[in-house]
């Protein structure tokens, strides 16, 4: 079990704080709308109708605040209704007074409060839909106040509301994104801690017993000792990859589009494969590095399938400055002369063609040396800065 | 092993490792092969004094100790007992430290999963003054010489150590997994000459490292008694 500390716990509902703040704004804007209506009584022709609509506005606000503050509810219905009710209330202003009474400079009783529908839509669906809803709400206001043709310099309702939709939508997506990253980081930390714990456990326990058994060659069944040795080697290899200081991290691409060939090759090391490489990373552009590693994989695969069960393979990686040299040698029986040509003549494009193709297509060279009893040896050379390509 | 019985004084060995089970198993193997395990140590702090007291021919060195690295312990052991030869035994996960231990004076390297017979052979060769190489170590040493050749030497510095073409050739073959005898056949050299070339590659590296450490100590204005390699290992 890995315990998580309080300092960085990802939230299951990362936008909940945003929803709750929005509801505080809803209540504040409701009080403002009531004050505006009270101050507009000289223009209101039908006060009873106007205050009835305000009652609806208060009732809806109360419901929306409750519904949207709760975590994990299906908010879509509430937000759609929020938009419908808002637009309806904007047009309802006509019941209180005709359009010309509200025209220019004057404000509708709903005015600032209409932002709530835009904020809700932007939090829920992001900035694009937030801006669309803002456009609808703003145009509704402008129709009601007969301001559709009023220049934006005089009536800024439209640009202001669209900006609200854009800003809140962007904010919501950023918050979600940050939360997702935090989630990932926490998971990674938990996984790393778990790996370290496992590695320690294996190193101090099972590994010691295995090496003890494998060392007591004479005292125990030789087959058992060999099995213990094989398991010991594969466990040690596994630990290399589990260890955070091991190769797992450096195997990640370094910088943009580079591959550490040395780290990638270490992954091939095992009971029958020895890998020799410089201590420092050997970086190649990703496409070149990956082809080189793939060619090495094929050459090693060839050793397994053709060189017999006792053959061992040796990989040597050298950084020669302007080029990278990779040798894959085995101590198997080798390939009799003419054998490769024979395979080619039969139309079988063997692994050797594939290896050569990979390397030569990128401007490198691939040479195979073999003779009976001498094993096989591939020497692959890949230029560091391929022609027509600065690196 | 027969020739060991002819030797009047058996080869003395010290085992530095913090796992008791491992120490016991290795000690048993070495005893059985005719060596004498004269000391064991489970930490850097105890390795130096015990080496000074017992002066072992060969020190088997683990790379991971509770109070430091095998490199620290190698430097401590060689400062306390300059006549000893250090053979590093490392799990593959500690590969990167091996080069540091070799620069600090270790003359051989073997993976921990090597068989008892391989270990006995390696201890014998180490006691004989030979360098015990794995292909992996050869790759690291080759890489280190290349790295040094790309770093421009400062005006006040000694010239960087370089390999002769022959040494490079030999080291490359070691890195490709060829045994000394195979290399000798392939290059038309004697077995002993090949061994000498291999040893030379380590000796130059260690010498350069010692010079570097001394210069570092002088530059930092350290007192004489603080310039022991045991502490000056940046």
How many angstroms away from the CA of B224 is the closest CA of chain A? 32
pLDDT band at residue A388 under the 50/70/90 scheme: very low
* A288-297, A369-378, B53-62, B200-209: range with lowest mean pLDDT: A369-378
pLDDT band at residue B87 under the 50/70/90 scheme: very high
Check pLDDT > 60 for residue B224: no
Are residues B192 and B106 located together in one domain of the fold? Answer: no
Are residues B38 and B153 located together in one domain of the fold? Answer: no
Distances (CA, A) of A79 to A21, A124, B79, B147: 16, 8, 77, 64
Predicted pLDDT of residue A105: 52
Number of other CB atoms surrounding residue A231 within 10 Å: 18
Sequence-separated (6 or more) residues with CB below 8 Å from residue A294: A358
* Rounded mean pLDDT, A123-151: 88
Contact A280 B117 (CB under 8 A): no
> Using CA of residue B36, residue B42, residue B47, residue B49, what is the dihedral sign?
negative
What is the predicted ipTM? Answer: 0.81
Contact B172 A316 (CB under 8 A): yes
Nearest CB partner across the interface for B93, out of A212, A240, A320: A240
Check pLDDT > 50 for residue B231: no
* B113-117, B183-187, B189-193: range with lowest mean pLDDT: B113-117
Predicted pLDDT of residue A344: 60
Contact A229 B115 (CB under 8 A): yes
Contact A276 B91 (CB under 8 A): no
Predicted pLDDT of residue A353: 74
Crossing angle between the packed helical segments B191-219 and B95-103, to the nearest 10 degrees: 80
The total domain count for chain B is 2
Are residues B93 and B149 located together in one domain of the fold? Answer: no
Predicted pLDDT of residue A242: 57
How many angstroms away from the CA of A232 is the closest CA of chain B? 7
Asked whether the beta carbons of B63 and B70 are under 8 A apart, the reply is: yes
User: In the structure encoding, which two tokens stand for residue A293, read together?
Assistant: 């590693």
Q: List, in sequence order, every residue forming a beta bridge with B111; answer none if it has no partner.
A: B90
Are residues B50 and B16 located together in one domain of the fold? Answer: yes
In a domain, B70, yes or no: yes
Q: What is the CATH number of the domain that holds B182?
A: 1.10.10.10
Most confident of A208-217, A328-337, B79-88: B79-88
In our burial notation (b when 16+ CB lie closer than 10 A, e otherwise), range B64-74 reads bbeebbbbbbb
- Report, in this order, helix, strand and coil percent for chain B, each rounded to 5: 55, 15, 30
Predicted pLDDT of residue B57: 95
Stronger pLDDT, A163 or A183, i.e. the higher one: A163
Nearest CB partner across the interface for B92, out of A269, A331, A377: A269
Stronger pLDDT, B229 or A352, i.e. the higher one: A352
Backbone phi and psi for residue B117, each to the nearest 5 degrees, phi listed first? -65, -40
Predicted pLDDT of residue B156: 59
Predicted pLDDT of residue A225: 81
Nearest CB partner across the interface for B150, out of A314, A321, A329: A321
In degrees, rounded to 5, the angle at the alpha carbon of residue B27 between the alpha carbons of residues B22 and B28 is 100
Predicted pLDDT of residue B126: 94
Are residues B41 and B91 located together in one domain of the fold? Answer: yes
User: In the structure encoding, which two tokens stand for residue B27, read together?
Assistant: 């000690």
* Rounded mean pLDDT, A40-67: 88
Single out the residue in B132, B163, B192 at which a domain terminates: B132
Contact A276 B117 (CB under 8 A): no
d(CA B214, CA A9): 50
Give the DSSP letter string of chain B: -HHHHH-SSPPEEEEE-S-HHHHHHHHHHHHHTT-EEEEEESSHHHHHHHHHHH--SEEEEESEETTEEHHHHHHHHHHH-TT-EEEEEE-GGGHHHHHHHHHTT--EEEETTS-HHHHHHHHHHHHTT--B--HHHHHHHHHHHHHHHHSPPPTTSPPPP---HHHHHHHHHHHTT--HHHHHHHHT--HHHHHHHHHHHHHHHHHHHHHHHHHHHHHTT--GGG-STTT---
B22 touching A, CB under 8 A? yes
Stronger pLDDT, A281 or B16, i.e. the higher one: B16
In a domain, B233, yes or no: no
Contact A217 B117 (CB under 8 A): yes
User: Over pLDDT 90: what percentage of chain B?
Assistant: 47
Are residues B124 and B11 located together in one domain of the fold? Answer: yes
Q: List, in sequence order, every residue forming a beta bridge with A319; answer none if it has no partner.
A: A324
Are residues B84 and B148 located together in one domain of the fold? Answer: no
Q: List, in sequence order, every residue forming a beta bridge with A318; answer none if it has no partner.
A: A325
When the pLDDT of each residue in chain B is averaged and rounded to a whole number, the result is 85
How many angstroms away from the CA of B221 is the closest CA of chain A? 31
Strands lying side by side in the sheet with B108-111: B36-41, B12-16, B58-62, B85-90, B108-111
pLDDT band at residue A144 under the 50/70/90 scheme: confident
User: B133-159: per-residue pLDDT in tens?
Assistant: 889 899 999 999 998 888 776 665 667
Are residues B91 and B180 located together in one domain of the fold? Answer: no
pLDDT band at residue A104 under the 50/70/90 scheme: low
Predicted pLDDT of residue A121: 93
Number of other CB atoms surrounding residue B36 within 10 Å: 15
Check pLDDT > 90 for residue A357: no
In a domain, B234, yes or no: no
Stronger pLDDT, B228 or A326, i.e. the higher one: A326
Predicted pLDDT of residue A4: 43
Asked whether the beta carbons of A67 and A106 are under 8 A apart, the reply is: no
B175 touching A, CB under 8 A? yes
d(CA A291, CA A296): 9
Distances (CA, A) of A210 to A224, A230, A319, B39: 10, 9, 36, 24
**Nearest residue to B111 via CA among B154, B157, B38, B60:** B60
d(CA B97, CA A186): 30
Asked whether the beta carbons of B78 and B232 are under 8 A apart, the reply is: no
Contact A215 B116 (CB under 8 A): yes
Contact A377 B176 (CB under 8 A): yes
Name the residue in chain B with its Cα closest to that of A213: B25
Q: What is the CATH number of the domain that holds B102?
A: 3.40.50.2300
Check pLDDT > 90 for residue A108: no
Number of other CB atoms surrounding residue A316 within 10 Å: 27
Are residues B84 and B196 located together in one domain of the fold? Answer: no
Check pLDDT > 60 for residue A154: yes
Measured between beta carbons, the chain A residues lying within 8 angstroms of B134 are 274
Nearest CB partner across the interface for A316, out of B26, B29, B175: B175
The one-character DSSP state at B60 is E
Distances (CA, A) of A295 to A199, A288, A326, A357, A382: 31, 11, 10, 9, 11
User: A227-268: per-residue pLDDT in tens?
Assistant: 888 888 777 777 766 554 433 333 444 445 788 898 888 888
Check pLDDT > 50 for residue A6: no
Check pLDDT > 70 for residue B232: no
User: Over pLDDT 70: what percentage of chain B?
Assistant: 86
When the pLDDT of each residue in chain A is averaged and rounded to a whole number, the result is 81
Using DSSP, state whether B144 is helix, strand or coil.
Answer: helix
d(CA B134, CA B38): 26
Measured between beta carbons, the chain B residues lying within 8 angstroms of A327 are 176
Name the residue in chain A with its Cα closest to that of B17: A208
Residues of A with CB under 8 A from a CB of B: 203-204, 208-209, 211-212, 214-218, 229, 232-233, 236-237, 239-240, 243, 245-246, 266, 269, 274-280, 312, 314, 316-321, 327, 329, 331, 377
Predicted pLDDT of residue B227: 44
For residue A64, the surrounding DSSP H or E stretch is helix A47-69
* A23-37, A144-158, B25-39: range with lowest mean pLDDT: A144-158
Are residues B162 and B114 located together in one domain of the fold? Answer: no
Are residues B157 and B94 located together in one domain of the fold? Answer: no
Contact A243 B146 (CB under 8 A): no
Crossing angle between the packed helical segments A206-215 and A222-242, to the nearest 10 degrees: 150
Check pLDDT > 70 for residue A218: no
B186 touching A, CB under 8 A? no
User: Over pLDDT 70: what percentage of chain A?
Assistant: 84
Distances (CA, A) of B226 to B49, B74, B213, B233, B234: 17, 17, 12, 11, 13
Nearest CB partner across the interface for B143, out of A204, A209, A279: A279
pLDDT band at residue B73 under the 50/70/90 scheme: very high
* Rounded mean pLDDT, A195-219: 75
Predicted pLDDT of residue A209: 81
* A70-74, A279-283, A376-380: range with lowest mean pLDDT: A70-74
* Rounded mean pLDDT, A318-337: 88
For residue A117, the surrounding DSSP H or E stretch is helix A115-125
User: In the structure encoding, which two tokens stand for residue B189, read together?
Assistant: 């050299």
In a domain, B128, yes or no: yes
* Rounded mean pLDDT, A286-309: 85
Predicted pLDDT of residue A254: 42
For residue A380, the surrounding DSSP H or E stretch is strand A376-383
**CA A304 and chain centroid, separation:** 37
In a domain, B149, yes or no: yes
Predicted pLDDT of residue A187: 83
Are residues B55 and B114 located together in one domain of the fold? Answer: yes
Predicted pLDDT of residue A244: 46
Predicted pLDDT of residue A346: 61
Is residue A218 exposed (0-12), middle (13-18) or buried (19+ Cβ within 10 Å)?
A: exposed
Single out the residue in B101, B132, B163 at which a domain terminates: B132
Task: List the domain range (segments joined by +) for residue B27.
Answer: 2-132
Side-chain-side CA neighbours of residue B140 (13 Å): 22
Asked whether the beta carbons of A108 and A155 are under 8 A apart, the reply is: no
Single out the residue in B132, B163, B187 at which a domain terminates: B132
Asked whether the beta carbons of A286 and A253 are under 8 A apart, the reply is: yes
* Rounded mean pLDDT, B170-192: 92
* Rounded mean pLDDT, A161-190: 88
Asked whether the beta carbons of A1 and A95 are under 8 A apart, the reply is: no
Number of other CB atoms surrounding residue A24 within 10 Å: 11
Using DSSP, state whether A190 is helix, strand or coil.
Answer: helix
* Rounded mean pLDDT, A368-385: 85
Distances (CA, A) of B203 to A189, A212, B4, B137: 43, 34, 27, 14
Pairing of strands B12-16, A376-383: unpaired
**Nearest residue to A2 via CA among A158, A164, A200, A193:** A193
B179 touching A, CB under 8 A? no
Which residue has tokens 């500690």?
B94
Which residue has tokens 């390999």?
B163
């Amino acid at each position: 079990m890995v315990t998580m500390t309080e300092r960085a716990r990802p939230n299951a509902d990362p936008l909940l704080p945003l929803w709750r703040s929005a509801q505080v704004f809803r209540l504040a804007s409701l009080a403002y709308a009531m004050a505006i209506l009270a101050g507009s009584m000289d223009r209101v022709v039908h006060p009873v109708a106007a205050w009835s609509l305000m009652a609806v506005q208060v009732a809806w606000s109360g419901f929306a605040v409750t519904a949207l503050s709760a975590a994990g509810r299906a908010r879509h219905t509430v937000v759609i209704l929020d938009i419908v009710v808002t637009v309806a209330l904007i047009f309802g202003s006509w019941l209180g007074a005709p359009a010309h009474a509200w025209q220019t400079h004057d404000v509708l009783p709903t005015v600032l409060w209409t932002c709530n529908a835009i904020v809700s839509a932007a939090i829920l669906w992001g900035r694009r839909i937030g801006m669309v809803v803002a456009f609808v709400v703003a145009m509704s206001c402008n129709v009601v106040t007969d301001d559709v043709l009023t220049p934006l310099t005089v009536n800024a309702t439209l640009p202001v509301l669209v900006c609200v939709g854009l800003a809140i939508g962007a904010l919501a997506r950023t918050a979600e994104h940050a939360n997702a990253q935090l989630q990932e980081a926490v998971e990674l930390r938990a996984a790393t801690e778990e790996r370290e714990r496992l590695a320690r456990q294996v190193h101090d326990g099972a590994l010691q017993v295995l090496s003890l058994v494998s060392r007591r060659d004479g005292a125990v069944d030789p087959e058992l000792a060999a099995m213990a040795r094989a398991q010991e080697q594969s466990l040690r290899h596994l630990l290399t990859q589990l260890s955070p200081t091991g190769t797992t991290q450096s195997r990640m691409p370094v910088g943009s589009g580079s591959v550490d060939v040395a780290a990638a090759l270490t992954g091939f090391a095992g009971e029958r494969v020895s890998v020799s490489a410089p201590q420092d990373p050997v970086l190649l552009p990703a496409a070149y590095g990956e082809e080189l590693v793939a060619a090495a994989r094929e050459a090693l695969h060839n050793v397994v399938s053709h060189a017999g069960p006792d053959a061992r393979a040796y990989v040597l990686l050298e950084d020669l400055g302007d080029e990278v040299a990779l040798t894959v040698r085995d101590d198997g029986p080798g390939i009799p002369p003419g054998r490769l040509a024979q395979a080619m003549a039969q139309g079988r494009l063997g692994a050797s063609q594939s290896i050569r193709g990979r390397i030569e297509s990128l401007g490198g060279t691939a040479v195979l040396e073999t003779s009976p009893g001498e094993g096989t040896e591939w020497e692959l050379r890949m230029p560091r800065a391929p022609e027509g390509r600065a690196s | 092993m027969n020739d060991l019985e002819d030797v009047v004084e058996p080869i003395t060995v010290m085992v530095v490792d913090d796992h008791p089970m491992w120490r016991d198993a290795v000690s048993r193997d070495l005893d059985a092969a005719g060596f004498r395990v004269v000391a064991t140590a489970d930490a850097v702090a105890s390795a130096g004094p015990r080496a000074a007291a017992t002066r072992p021919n060969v020190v088997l060195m683990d790379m991971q100790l509770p109070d430091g690295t095998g490199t620290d312990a190698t430097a401590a052991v060689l400062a306390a007992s300059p006549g000893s030869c250090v053979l590093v035994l490392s799990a593959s996960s500690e590969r990167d430290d091996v080069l540091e231990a070799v620069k600090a004076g270790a003359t051989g390297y073997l993976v921990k999963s090597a068989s008892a017979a391989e270990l006995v052979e390696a201890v014998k060769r180490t006691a004989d003054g030979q360098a015990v190489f794995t292909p992996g170590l050869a790759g690291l040493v080759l890489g280190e010489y290349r790295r040094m050749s790309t770093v421009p030497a400062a005006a006040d510095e000694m010239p960087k150590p370089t390999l002769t073409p022959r040494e490079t050739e030999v080291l490359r073959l070691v890195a490709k997994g060829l045994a000394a005898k195979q290399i000798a056949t392939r290059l038309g050299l004697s077995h002993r000459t090949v061994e000498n070339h291999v040893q030379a590659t380590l000796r130059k590296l260690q010498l350069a490292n010692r010079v570097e450490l001394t210069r570092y100590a002088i530059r930092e204005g350290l007192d004489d008694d603080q310039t022991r390699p045991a502490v000056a290992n940046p």
